[in-house]
Amino acid sequence: MAERTLGDLLDNFQHEAFRLETLDDYSRSGSVDAVRLSPDGQPKPADYNADWCAEVGEHVATGRRMYRVHVLARPLTPRLRFEPGWGYVTNATAGEEFFILDVTDRPPPLPSDVGDFWLVDSTTAAPVRYSDDSKFLGADVLPDDQGERYAAYRDTALAHAVPFADWWATHAQ
């Protein structure tokens, strides 16, 4: 049997793809050039995140859901000011949903070792690995018998999170 990859999971899910984000800094992963432009007040490029938005849009158009919860605490790092303002707002136009679990004034409801992960169709989890300086190192697709634990993490995160637009209206900096 061929080894499954995160790319396979995100291309072939049937119902939903959920992402938990727990880091304060992703500046060495993804849109590194855009992170440099944002604090300088440069305008967002018209094609910013176009490939991801196209993929999300295709999934959403066929009735599949893509959503994430970001666990964070204020004050926001430069990357966390960038990510919602450019990334979440842009991705939401394609149908991706965002929630914020703000732990600034309360203890985190999730164990400290949960870390970032994708959960596909509530059954297949893929913990995501990063270097100490926030560079994406890969994801490990786990056997489906471990999905229930990650579904419980998802449910806990969602129970304590608020929709991004509501949170951003109060806490945008």
- CATH code (residue 150): 3.30.870
Structural domain contains residue 1: no
Within a domain: residue 156? yes
Number of folded domains in the chain? 1
Cα–Cα distance, 146 to 169 (Å, whole number) = 36
Residue 21 φ then ψ, to 5°: -115, 130
pLDDT, position 39: 53
- Give the per-residue pLDDT at 33: 54
pLDDT at 89: 85
Q: In which domain, by residue range, is 130 found?
A: 6-171
- Model pLDDT, residue 117: 98
Run means of pLDDT, 10 residues per run, the chain, 173 residues? 87 97 75 52 71 95 98 85 78 95 96 96 97 89 97 98 94 75
Looking at the domain assignment, is residue 52 inside a domain? yes
